[in-house]
Structure 1
Amino acid sequence: MLEALDTWHFGKVLYAYRTHPHHGRVLSQDVVADWLGLTQAQLSRIENGAAPQDLGKLMQWAHSLGAPADLLWFKLPRAKHQAPRRAAAAKTEPIQSGAQGGLLLPVVINGHSVMVPVDARTLAESGLGSLLDQPDSSKEHEAMSPLNRRAVLKGGIAVAALPGLGLEEIQHVAAALDDARRYMDGPVVEYLRRQIAACKSDDGSLGPKKTLPVMLGLLGAIEEHARDVRPAVRRELLTIGADGAEFAGWLYRDIHQPLQAGHWYDRAMEWAQEANDQAVQGYVLLKKSQMAYDERDAVRVLTLAEAAGQPHWQLPLKVQAEVAQQQARGFAMLGDPMDDVERALGEAHHLLTQHEGASIDATPHLSPHYNRANLMLQTASCYIEAGQPARAADLYGTVLEGDALSRRDQGYFLARRACSLALAGRPDDAASVGLAAVELSDATNSLRTKRELARAMATLQPWATRPGPRELREALRA
């Protein structure tokens, strides 16, 4: 069961539960489906298909199975603490920490649950904070009444207010969630854009397991509302949805779930095509090339990077630089001449210099953190693939001495440096760097970092009995 829960795939959890020896016999799909309010065919699709993303359904199924809340990758409502007078609004309990210290509140729209993030300032300014913290207080009615009836959607579930907005604006957002075709407009779209940006900002320090639930809630809200709006607004929603879906793909890469990452990359491409966003389409091809590198699929690394480099995508200069660097990595992996690798890296440096000389970045959401330090780090990975690990280790060390990286990226590239040091025949240095990476990978829940550490450990096998490698092996097993 623990292994199934660690996959973040509720279908696998259901299968593990049905077949667990504790029952004495395998529970049929018909029986479990009936418990969950599903058909046998629906349960079969859940068990064998892509991981379900609807948090409302996940919470319902978890409650039905009695799954311990501390083993789940999302939080359950604390219904047992609610007072009777709040029964009608029971589903407004906080589900998951959101961006900037906020909460996710579930909202039911036309029978579908979507998660809306609310930050701490929103709770204080709208009065929802006192509503949640003091369920038996006489202030409950006063806190809710200013939102008027539009603040309560079908089923009596309270809608969340947006941060930093006044009463009239809060009412406007509530109306937008209730009637997207009439009220979904610029301010609501801009709010969703800001929340995605906040998730990206928080990811480097919080890690994917805290960021991903918020991101999936936002994407659920975008997908739900995009069905019922005017075409111009739908294109706006899909534009920011494509950006968010690409980021969700990255988060799934970080926890090493390539199937889910591929799903969200495909969704990002589909939405970008419908929104006629050329740049994001090329950008997703770049990200797919990078995912192919995670799997060490050299041919796809290069062909996807070359596809991303086609001029019709009209990529901004810094993304073109990243594409050129990715092509260099593909050349190195395929054993092409070092002149080809260096030529592509030189093109990347030239493009990045041009970008740095520009006064305005019109696409800050594409390659938001790509800079000179990132290019040096990726150049180091090219040197590893080209059989020059000592050169790579020196480059990694130069960048890691600064403070340009997030905690998660610091851990990942420490692990990469440990690999390069091991390949260069410096086992004690590799083990020391690897131990620092272990600490950061645990703090940020980055399975991607742990995979690199496993590679380093495999390379250190000839020195397995030395104190440093032995200590690293024990830390990885802990």
Structure 2
Amino acid sequence: MGACGVGGSDAGGRTTGRRPNGQLGSWFLRSGWSKGELARQVNRRARRIGAHHISTDTSRVRRWLDGEQPREPIPRILSELFSERFGSVVTVEDLGLRAAPQAPAVSGVDLPWAGPQTVSLISDFSRSDLMLGRRGFLGSSLALAAGPALVEPMQRWLVPTPAGDRPKAPPEPVTGLSVPELELLESTTAMFRTWDAQCGGGLRRKAVVGQLHEVTDLLQEPHPEATTRRLFRCAAELAELAGWMSYDIGLQPGAQKYFVLALHAAKEAGDRPLGSYVLSSMSRQMIHLGRPDDALELIHLAQYGSRDCATPRTQAMLYAMEARAYANMGQPGKCKRAVRMAEDTFSDIGLEGGPEPDWIRFFSEAELNGENAHSYRDLAYVAGRSPTYASLAEPAMRRAVELFAEDEEHQRSYALNLIGLATVHLLKKEPEEATALAQKALEVAQRVRSERVNTRLRKTVDTAAREFADVGEITDLTDLLTAQLPESAEAV
């Protein structure tokens, strides 16, 4: 749908020559927002990315609808807000707005698959994030990729790097890292991962980005091949974690960029299981953005690329994510099969022996139950709020909540599964049980700096308030949520 109308007018009724933005107007009308609510959301998002100079009001929103082109980062903010509202990617162009020109270092996902370029891109992007992210300029330079524009470049992960493109190790390295120094880098990454699970993505994201930038500095020095691969593995883990933390606090375009760079680094490290893990994170983001078809393509790519080298724990995690994608596509038969495969493969853990990488340690019995329960819960929504699928979700979700309640390390997962169980009770028309669980989740959310937790909790309570407005406990919880839960978590 294109822009319509023959011209706008100013406050005095004079013709301005602008045409109303019909595309933005259509999305705005379907959103159900008022002009004031959209202005408030733009201001909140701007503050979260550090663009404190932005102060939008209803008259400014009216001018955008009348055809005025806002300056960056507002087009990107509007794209993110409408994407979240409709559960699918809504680009700047879909809104009839003009995107700012993008610098090569921070735009697109179709990047060269070569070691030196990967190091340079990670270095440039992490430096830009550290220097400019607080003021919002980094976010305004990014756009989410989806569909073939995302999936096709990622397929090149499996194409062997031509021998002539591989960096040659020096015969006598000019510099070198000792084994204890490498182990310290790796243990620091594991520590950051633990902090993220305990405290959410908002507290230590900048520290992770800074560490990633330091590793790219090391990668620009000559090392033996084994050391270079180990450093690339460290860079891949840190870039994935930076992406995951960005995703957790709602910085979706930046999260996707970090994931893509992490996959490039994993390829240079020759670590296909790690690459499959990065692809699973990208898949989870696509489910969150309402793109289950893309999520499934990414998971199948991960499974194919690591089929002969991933541990049972990693394979079980990939099957669980496959089930989530099928659930959101409304394919119950394939979803149930993937759930069974995840459970069967998880039961093989420990049979082969040998240590597992730290990045997959999170996928515990609690996580398995939580993922499979969310698959059935998602099926219930896709199937028109089916009580049958909600009943399938309940025992696994309850088991996940019980296990996470005893796990001090994974508090964000505890909160997310409390919220998930609350949604199951809402599907079963049990508002009192849902309210009690949501109130527990609120207590955890106040300790965990995660916009993802906050957003899901607000949506769940809003749903309960709409459907069960006469239940006093829900009214009380709504008031408590407004008073105790901050509206946004600013990235640090």
Distance, in Å, in 2 between the alignment partners of 1:260 and 1:282 is 20
Tell me the residue number matched to 2:54: 16
Structure 2 residue runs without a partner (length 5+) = 1-41, 58-70, 73-99, 108-123, 136-172, 381-388, 484-492
Query: Normalization by structure 1: what TM-score?
Result: 0.63
Q: CA deviation at 1:386?
A: 2.1
Separation in 2, partners of 1:297, 1:44: 26
Q: Note if 1:477 corresponds to 2:482.
A: yes
Equivalent-residue separation in structure 1 for 2:290 and 2:130 (angstroms): 35
8 Å CA contact 2:273–2:314 kept in 1: the answer is no
Aligned pair in 2 of structure 1 residues 281, 57: CA closer, same or farther (>3 Å)?
closer
CA distance in 2, matches of 1:412, 1:231: 43
For 2:322, give the aligned amino acid. Q
Counterpart selection for 1:303 from 297, 301, 315 = 297
The letter of the residue matching 2:48 is: T
| Structure 1: runs of 5 or more not aligned | 20-27, 30-42, 63-179
Superposition pairs of residues 332-351 of structure 1, within 5 angstroms: 332-338=327-333, 340-351=334-345
Partner of 2:32: none
Aligned twin of 2:311: 316
Equivalent position amino acid for 2:314 in 1 = V
Partners of 2:324 and 2:375 within 8 A in 1: yes
State the SS of the aligned residue for 1:443. coil
Q: 2: distance between equivalents of 1:369 and 1:55?
A: 30
1:316-395 alignment runs, 5 A limit: 316-338=311-333, 340-361=334-355, 363-387=356-380, 388-395=389-396
Tell me the equivalent position of 2:258.
264
The correspondence for 1:437, drawn from 418, 433, 441, is 441
Separation of aligned partners in 2, 1:354 and 1:273: 27
Counterpart residue number, 1:463: 468
Q: Measure the CA separation in 1 of the matches of 2:440 and 2:299.
A: 32
| TM-superposition CA deviations, 1:276-329 (whole Å, max 9, x none) | 222222221111111112223221222222221115552221111111111122
Q: What is the Cα deviation at residue 271 of structure 1?
A: 0.8
Q: Which moved more, 1:307-316 or 1:242-251?
A: 307-316
Query: Aligned partners of 1:369, 1:194: CA distance in 2, in Å?
Result: 16
How far apart are residue 44 of structure 1 and its match? 8.5
Amino acid at match of 2:319: A
Match of 1:218 among 211, 219, 224: 211
The answer to whether the Cα contact below 8 Å between 2:461 and 2:474 also exists between their aligned partners in 1 is yes
Distance change (3 Å), C-alpha of 1:278 and 1:49: closer
SS at match of 1:366: helix
* Counterparts of 2:133 and 2:250, CA distance in 1: 26
- Could you give the per-residue CA deviations for residues 100-139 of structure 1, whole angstroms, max 9, x where no partner exists? xxxxxxxxxxxxxxxxxxxxxxxxxxxxxxxxxxxxxxxx
Task: Check 1:450–1:61 CA distance in 2 against 1; reply closer, same or farther (3 A cut).
Answer: closer
Q: Distance in 1 between matches of 2:43 and 2:460?
A: 26
Which structure is larger by alpha-carbon Rg, 1 or 2? 1
Between Structure 1 and Structure 2, how many residues are aligned? Answer: 336
Report the Cα distance in structure 2 between the residues aligned to 1:471 and 1:52, rounded to whole angstroms: 45
Q: Does 1:3 align with 2:3?
A: no
CA RMSD of aligned residues (A): 3.4
Kindly indicate whether residue 192 of structure 2 is the aligned counterpart of residue 199 of structure 1: yes
User: Matched residues in 2 for 1:366 and 1:56: separation?
Assistant: 23
Matches within 5 A, 1:421-436: 421-436=425-440
CA drift of 1:409 comes to 1.4
Residues 80-111 of structure 1, C-alpha deviations (whole Å, 9 max, x = no match): xxxxxxxxxxxxxxxxxxxxxxxxxxxxxxxx
1:442/1:53 Cα in 2 relative to 1: closer, same or farther (>3 Å)? farther
Letter in 2 for 1:371: S
Asked if structure 2 preserves the Cα contact closer than 8 Å seen for 1:283 and 1:315, the reply is no
CA distance in 2, matches of 1:3, 1:377: 31
